[in-house]
Structure 1
């Protein structure tokens, strides 16, 4: 086992094993821009690091011919990013790749209790044990200097592996990279080997970011950010009262009506469903605040760059969408404007965060200093297509579905990075709109009303062009 490997405490552990890996030596490299951005956030609020661990579960096909441990070993050998630790050298954080060693693997029998008592289990029980195991493995922060950037567990029934649980540290992979790793694991389970070469690894990306072309691109992105930030109001939403305790509340609205409406609008205007949601969010924020200009931050994958599509790295970074609504556009007129603003944001989302901090400080603007006063929109749906198959688009049905939207409160937090964060998530039966808000700016009743306003706006815009003011 790798010297210094940290094993998370787990009171229900039934045992550990390990997988071997051996690969060609890989020189160390600086951290990537995406890693630096996340590392700055970790340093600001280290206690929230477990919240960004990525949990994934892979079902092992019943007829998978490959040995599961051997497949995991081949996966680690294939991707140096999965063998990378973050260590400080001469005051600088660097990526240190482990060439050979063993990786710990937790064994969790689903058909045996922690006391060793056999129990009968079905597929739902196995899935529940896998989810619980993922939650336990994700509950503690990674020791990035000593621990490899994933934790692995196998859920067994009658001695056979039924589920592979992997918890990734977000410092080394983003959502797309995690899916690529799982794709390769499935192939290794089914075929035993992968003939095609692996994509760029995290150390490869870091070296690319130090060439002259990447530096110039990053400098242009920083300049556009500084210019755009100068156009934003001081606050997106005003303070309306004293904060509650805990200060930040997260509520989730699930809407089949919004799911259908977003698809209808995207099809009619030939834009992406993400553009529709961004436009609706901008319009709601503008009408609620009275601001002529709205700033919406969003996460950008940065995988449109040559060679980056298959990269196993943390490439995603924040983009800033600046939307001007001073001329009070209709919703249809707003869509191309938002699309253009989003394209500018996407082109400006690949940069060195250290350079961004320097430029913001020189301009007298706050940068990563605590709570961002503007809205963060994070669309984390697995599929963002606008296919209308199976959706009843009749006006009567779409309006009726609006009354069926459900709202529930979820977590609460004492501290958070954003005044408002809107996540677009997949939910059974509809589109999930999850809002985390500062109660001094959006107390619970107003936070729910904002989500219902967004829900209603999407439905109205799907059925006719909405003039200003939309409500």
Structure 2
């Protein structure tokens, strides 16, 4: 743990694993880092901060919690794996044993039982990039109230575990706190995955790269052309908070028996394509790759970007677009498991710069936790949903210092609503059009929740139904 983050007592959790090992990066890791220089430049957006309350039935003195954390790291090799340059290439190095530093903080002055201290620690521990060559890929703080650990704060490096892997780790931690043991062996770890990718998984990569090559032969060169010089600062980030979008998305998903993620992907495709009047639209989306055999309980960085290509030449209505997007999304997820170096070569063979080939397309990442899309009680009627649009807000957040895309959308959980964080390069999507982009998304789905929407899908240009 970096010394500048240490503001209280440090204790250590010793751990003992089954082996020490070295392996190349996984394909998911390689997608993030192609060289040691990339490794050094990783930022805090690669962090996965989590906060859990210690069960009241669990032994919760500091030594007991430290023992559980030591057992956790011993169980999951990925949590004791660092990434270091070897002969000019970043590789994974797993330690057989060691000590995990734990920051102990007093939350006794909090009126909410230490929760405020835990939130502050989560922000602080996540504010500094990991030194992946020297740090373990998790930072941990214990919030103590009345001699009991009430909260645990864990910040994972996304370079070692993905969202699903982090949830597996937290599940095991709860069992260790309550029972002192976890039934059954651990799933595949990141070094196991890397070794599979070097052998038996190569054929999957070959098929995936062929899908990407075919898709890029069909796509326009860009979905976002320059509209003027970039503003200062050049990158902007806005948060749409919309109860109406949440309700409409769930209504459309139920009506057509698709996921809410598919509904948002189709609506994003519609809004992006309408700006360019494109006959083919490409949207990039994140795939978890958990459907691969043996990967359901793996603790590793498995997620990679998938390519969703939708044909719009016949100007379909939104219902047809939705079902086409659902089929295209399945292909995007199926072919999102690949060796990034092989994909780079394929893009170069097509005349693209592998470093910038994805930049001109919208990247949609739904990072919400899973939940049932249905309603408790009757579904909302049209008047209820349209009234909710009056409560929609757009908030401009602190601009990011760096940004690799022209347009990126992140779908997030917001209490009682749906949140969409839109990050843009202002040379291609200035603040005014960016706000309209978000509102068009809401307008389209509010309309589609109650009737079909014909091409060009712009509900904002038609009067609202009575």
Which residue of the partner structure matches residue 152 of structure 2?
A: 164
Equivalent of residue 289 in structure 2, options 293, 302, 315 = 302
Matches of 1:401 and 1:467, distance apart in 2: 24
Matches of 1:229 and 1:388, distance apart in 2: 39
Which residue of the partner structure matches residue 394 of structure 1?
A: 381
Which residue of the partner structure matches residue 170 of structure 2?
A: 182
2:110 is the counterpart of 1:121:
yes
Which residue of the partner structure matches residue 84 of structure 2?
A: 87
Matches of 1:451 and 1:313, distance apart in 2: 33
TM-score by length of 1: 0.93
2:170 is the counterpart of 1:220:
no
User: Can you list the C-alpha shifts for 1:198-238, whole angstroms capped at 9, x where unaligned?
Assistant: 11111111111111x41111011111111211222122123
Equivalent of residue 225 in structure 2, options 224, 238, 244 = 238
Task: Please state how far the C-alpha of 1:414 moved relative to its aligned partner.
Answer: 4.0
2:67 is the counterpart of 1:70:
yes
SS, match of residue 196 in structure 1: coil
2:11 is the counterpart of 1:9:
no
Question: What pairs up with 1:34-433 in 2 under 5 angstroms?
Answer: 34-40=28-34, 43-44=37-38, 46-47=40-41, 49-65=43-59, 67-111=64-108, 120-123=109-112, 126-211=114-199, 213-369=200-356, 372-390=359-377, 392-433=379-420
SS, match of residue 136 in structure 1: helix
SS, match of residue 231 in structure 2: coil
Matches of 1:299 and 1:81, distance apart in 2: 22
SS, match of residue 463 in structure 1: coil
Matches of 1:45 and 1:26, distance apart in 2: 22
Matches of 2:103 and 2:334, distance apart in 1: 42
Task: Please state how far the C-alpha of 1:372 moved relative to its aligned partner.
Answer: 0.4
Matches of 2:264 and 2:445, distance apart in 1: 8
User: Can you list the C-alpha shifts for 1:138-168, whole angstroms capped at 9, x where unaligned?
Assistant: 2222221221111111111233211111111
Change (3 A) 1:135 1:8: farther
Matches of 2:83 and 2:156, distance apart in 1: 14
Task: Please state how far the C-alpha of 1:89 moved relative to its aligned partner.
Answer: 2.6
Which residue of the partner structure matches residue 464 of structure 2?
A: none
SS, match of residue 320 in structure 1: strand
Matches of 1:227 and 1:79, distance apart in 2: 39
Is the 1:273–1:385 contact (alpha carbons within 8 Å) kept by the matching residues of 2?
A: no
Task: Please state how far the C-alpha of 1:41 moved relative to its aligned partner.
Answer: 8.9
Count of matched residue pairs = 455
Task: Please state how far the C-alpha of 1:8 moved relative to its aligned partner.
Answer: 4.0
SS, match of residue 28 in structure 2: helix
Task: Please state how far the C-alpha of 1:371 moved relative to its aligned partner.
Answer: 7.3
User: Can you list the C-alpha shifts for 1:74-93, whole angstroms capped at 9, x where unaligned?
Assistant: 10111011011112233332
Equivalent of residue 456 in structure 1, options 434, 440, 443 = 443
Change (3 A) 1:289 1:202: same
Is the 1:299–1:318 contact (alpha carbons within 8 Å) kept by the matching residues of 2?
A: yes
Matches of 1:259 and 1:369, distance apart in 2: 33
**Pairwise CA RMSD:** 1.8
SS, match of residue 171 in structure 2: helix
Matches of 2:21 and 2:119, distance apart in 1: 36
Give the gaps of 5 or more residues in structure 2. Answer: 459-466
Change (3 A) 1:361 1:258: same
Is the 2:36–2:90 contact (alpha carbons within 8 Å) kept by the matching residues of 1?
A: no
Matches of 1:276 and 1:16, distance apart in 2: 47
Is the 1:236–1:373 contact (alpha carbons within 8 Å) kept by the matching residues of 2?
A: yes
User: Can you list the C-alpha shifts for 1:9-64, whole angstroms capped at 9, x where unaligned?
Assistant: 136x1211101111222432221111111123984595551221111111112221
Matches of 1:183 and 1:440, distance apart in 2: 44
Matches of 2:198 and 2:208, distance apart in 1: 15
Matches of 2:302 and 2:267, distance apart in 1: 27
Matches of 2:445 and 2:353, distance apart in 1: 33
Matches of 1:45 and 1:73, distance apart in 2: 27
User: Can you list the C-alpha shifts for 1:112-161, whole angstroms capped at 9, x where unaligned?
Assistant: xxxxxxxx3222x6222112112221222222122111111111123321
Matches of 2:110 and 2:18, distance apart in 1: 43
